Amino acid sequence: PPPKHTLSRVMITKNRGKDKLWSYTREPIKQPLLKKVLSSEELSQEACMAFIAILKYMGDYPSKRTRSVNELTDQIFEGALKAEALRDEIYSQVLKQLTDNHVKYSEEKGWELLWLCTGLFAPSNVLLLHVQRFVQSRKHHPLANDCLQRLQKALRNGSRRYPPHLVEVEAIQHKTTQIFHKVYFPDDTDEAFEVESGTKAKDFCQSISKRLLLKSPEGFSLFIKISDKVISVPEGDFFFDFVRHLTDWIKKARPAKDGLVPSLTYQVFFMKKLWTNTTPGKDSMADSIFHYYQELPKYLRGYHKCTREEVLQLGALIYRVKFEDDKSCFPNITKLLKDLVPEPLIRQLSPDDWKRSIVAYFNKHAGKTREEAKLAFLKIIFRWPTFGSAFFEVKQTTDPNYPELLLVAINKHGISLIDRKSKDVLITHPFTKISNWSSGNTYFHITIGNLVRGSKLLCETSL
C-alpha cells in the first residue's frame, strides 16, 4: 500500500477541488454547476453565459463598456425565468460567489443579486433548505432577513415572468429594500405606496383602497400611463412584471430615433374602471375622490343628452365644488363657462345669460358643502342611461343605417351607438349579443349577433 501521507494528500486535493467548485472564483465556469442542467447543451451554454454576467455585475471580470442599469441583471435572470431548470443553477452560482468571498465590493454586489433573485422565483424544494440555511448562517448581513422574507413570498405567489425592473435594480444598488411608488388619483392628489417585487396588482389595489378608506376595491384598477398610452393592469399580474412588459413593448414598437431612446418614464393611476355596481351615495370617499372627477370631464365634453334645466343645475353644483359658498367669483363665470357647461352647448346662450341662470340655481342650494354638491351632481347624472360609460368618438362606414360619425358608449347596459350631434342613443347592444370583438391601433371591429347573419361594425378612432 502507498505510504499514508501520500494517500491523505490525494484525498485533500480531491476535497479541495470540490470545495473550490462551491466557493468564490474570478474565472468563468466551463460547465454548469448542476448535473440536471448539464444534460442540455443549450441550457449549459446559458448557464455559463449567466455566470460571466454575474462576474461582471460583481466587478470580478473585466467589462468593456458602461451598461444600462438592468442589462446584466437581464442576462443573469432572463434564461431562468424561461427555463425552470436554470433557476437552481442561478441560485447555486450566486451562493458560490458569496462563499469565501473576501472582496468587500464583490460580496456586496453578490448580496444584491441574491436579493433580486429571491424577489423573482424560489429554488426547488431540494435546494430551498440549503439556500435558507446559507442565508440564516449570515444573519448579520443587512439583507439576510429581507431575502428570507422574499423567499417565503415567492413560494406563496409563484414566480415572476420578467427580469427585475429598472426601479428594483436601482433601489437595491442604492441600498434600499423599500420601493415607494407615487400613485395619482382623479381628484389631482397623489400618495406614495410601498411596492415589493412580489406585489400583485390586486394587493396594490387593496392597500390603496384601505388607505383611502374606500368601502371596497371592487371595480377599481391600476392604470399605467406611458408615452401616449394609458393601460389597465390585470389584477393577477405582478406589478413590476406588467410595467416591465409595457416598457419592453414600447421600446420594440418605437425604435430609437437618431440614437434617442423613447422616454420610458411612467405614471401610475388608480381609477374606477367598472361602473356596473356604482350607485352615488353608497361610498362617500369613492364619490368624492373618483366618481365625481371621472364623470365631470365626460359631461363637459358633451357626451350625455341632457335638458337645459339639468345643465343649469349641474353648472351651479360644479361652481359650488370649485368655490363652495364663495360668491366673489360670480363675475368670472363668463370666463369659466368651459368648466361649467358642456362644450357643445356653450353657444346656445350668451355668456351673461349663462351667468345669470347659474347664479340663480346656485342660490337655491345655499349652504350646501363641496361634498354634498359632488353627490348631488352624481345623482343627476346617475339617472341618465349613459352614466359610467367609456366613450369613443368614432367614424364608421360599414352600416348605412347610422351616421358616419358616431359616439360609442360602453357601460353596464352594453354597447350603445349614439348620434354625435343630437346625442340620441340610436341602439344599445347588450354584451350577450356581441359575438366578436377585435381591435388594432386605430380601429375596433364588433360583430353583433351570430357570425353568419350578424351585422359587423368597423370603427376608426384616434383613442
Residue 187, domain CATH: 3.10.20.90
Which residue, of 242, 272, 302, is where some domain finishes? 272
Amino acid found at 298: K
Q: Is residue 9, in this structure, part of any structural domain at all?
A: no
pLDDT in tens, the chain (463 residues): 544 444 444 443 444 455 677 899 999 999 999 999 999 999 999 999 999 999 999 999 988 776 788 999 999 999 999 999 999 999 999 999 999 999 999 999 999 999 999 999 999 999 999 999 999 999 999 999 999 999 999 999 999 999 999 999 999 999 999 999 999 999 999 999 999 999 999 999 999 999 999 999 999 999 999 877 889 999 999 999 999 998 888 877 766 555 555 567 889 999 999 999 999 999 999 999 999 999 999 999 999 999 999 999 999 999 999 999 999 999 999 999 999 999 999 999 999 999 999 999 999 988 899 999 999 999 999 999 999 999 999 999 888 889 999 999 999 999 999 999 999 999 999 999 988 888 887 888 888 887 666 788 888 987 6
- CA 260, 261, 266, 272 torsion-angle sign: positive
364: domain CATH number?
1.20.80.10
Is pTM beyond 0.75 here? yes
Q: How far apart are CA 273 and CA 326, in angstroms?
A: 34
Instruction: Give the CA dihedral 215, 220, 226, 230, nearest 10 degrees.
Output: -140
Q: Is residue 258, in this structure, part of any structural domain at all?
A: no
Residue 394 near residue 303 (C-beta atoms within 8 A):
no
CA angle 259, 261, 263 (to 5 degrees): 150
Q: How far apart are CA 204 and CA 221, in angstroms?
A: 9
Same domain membership, residue 105 and residue 41: yes
Domain count, the chain: 4
Residue 91 near residue 151 (C-beta atoms within 8 A):
no
Q: How far apart are CA 27 and CA 52, in angstroms?
A: 8
Same domain membership, residue 131 and residue 52: yes
57: domain CATH number?
1.25.40.530
Q: Is residue 18, in this structure, part of any structural domain at all?
A: no
Same domain membership, residue 338 and residue 355: yes
Q: Which range marks the domain in which residue 102 is found? A: 35-174
- Least Cα distance to 159 among 246, 239, 81 occurs for 81
Q: Is residue 300, in this structure, part of any structural domain at all?
A: yes
Helix (H) or strand (E) holding 444: strand 443-448
Strands 190-195 and 414-419, sheet pairing: unpaired
Residues 6+ apart with CB under 8 A from 242: 201, 224, 233, 234
Strands 266-272 and 179-184, sheet pairing: parallel
Same domain membership, residue 97 and residue 67: yes
Same domain membership, residue 147 and residue 165: yes
Q: Is residue 19, in this structure, part of any structural domain at all?
A: no
Q: How far apart are CA 401 and CA 446, in angstroms?
A: 16
List helix spans (H) across 230-369.
239-253, 284-286, 292-300, 308-323, 337-340, 351-364
Which residue, of 354, 382, 410, is where some domain finishes? 382
